[in-house]
Amino acid sequence: MNLYRIVYASTLSESFSSQDIEHILASSRRNNKKQDVSGMLLFSHRYFLQCLEGSRDNINQTYQRILSDERHCRVTIVSYENVTQREFCAWSMGYVPESHLTRELLFKFSASATFDPYTLSNVSALALLKSLHGTVI
Ligand code: FAD
């Protein structure tokens, strides 16, 4: 089965401006749709947590572009795995803004109620993203 999922964490760079998120979502949705890539992007407290699903080649190409994007830094893989099904097939790139991330939810999946994706295990990171299905815009 040539279906893969990557989850990574990253941090906003100094040059990031509030309009950048709209540009990132527009590029992501356009490019991912063409490449049959699905996923979700969570943004909170200067951090991103993103999941990308698709063929190994398309995931790797997308991740390479993301890696060299200067709008964020400290890009760190949380998990990379061969999977049997997509978890985010409804979205070329679903977006969860920080207002949707409650302290209760963070407390459920991490050691504190503060969002820091670098401290999440691979299992907790995916569980957190899945729990946000209903709040995706
Ligand atoms: P365009 O969409 O045509 O670029 C549009 C504009 O975005 C440019 O004019 C420029 O102003 C700006 N821009 C583009 N690249 C950069 C850059 N490297 N640094 C600064 N500004 C830039 N892309 C995807 O295809 N799929 C994703 O899922 C995805 N997720 C992302 C998640 C995060 C957290 C970040 C920071 C970026 C993500 N991107 C994603 C964007 C990716 O890094 C590339 O910018 C994008 O893929 C380039 O697409 P494009 O060649 O069609 O450029």
Residue nearest ligand 1's atom 7 by CA: 23
Distance between Cα 107 and ligand 1 center (Å): 32
Locate the domains of the chain by residue range.
3-135
CB of residue 33 inside a 6 A radius of ligand 1: no
pTM of the model: 0.94
Cβ contact 36:83 at 8 Å? no
Maximum Cα–Cα distance across the chain: 40
Q: Which residues pair with 77 in a beta bridge?
A: 8
Residue 1: the pLDDT is 61
Q: Residue 75's pLDDT band (boundaries 50, 70, 90)?
A: very high
Distance between Cα 15 and ligand 1 center (Å): 14
Output the 3-class SS for the chain.
CCCEEEEEEEEECCCCCCCHHHHHHHHHHHHHHHCCCEEEEEEECCEEEEEEEECHHHHHHHHHHHHCCCCEEEEEEEEEEECCCCCCCCCCCEEECHHHCCHHHHHHHCCCCCCCHHHCCHHHHHHHHHHCHHHCC
Handedness of CA 58, 2, 89, 9 (dihedral sign): negative
CB of residue 44 inside a 6 A radius of ligand 1: no
Query: 3-135 has which fold?
Result: Alpha-Beta Plaits (3.30.70)
Residue-wise pLDDT for 79-125, tens only, equals: 999 999 999 999 999 999 888 899 999 999 999 899 999 999 999 99
Residue-wise pLDDT for 112-137, tens only, equals: 899 999 999 999 999 999 999 888 87
Which ligand 1 atom lies nearest to the CA of residue 15?
20
CB of residue 10 inside a 6 A radius of ligand 1: yes
Residue nearest ligand 1's atom 29 by CA: 28
Residue-wise pLDDT for 15-50, tens only, equals: 888 899 999 999 999 999 999 999 999 999 899 999
Cα 50 to Cα 39: distance, rounded to the nearest angstrom: 7
CB of residue 58 inside a 6 A radius of ligand 1: no
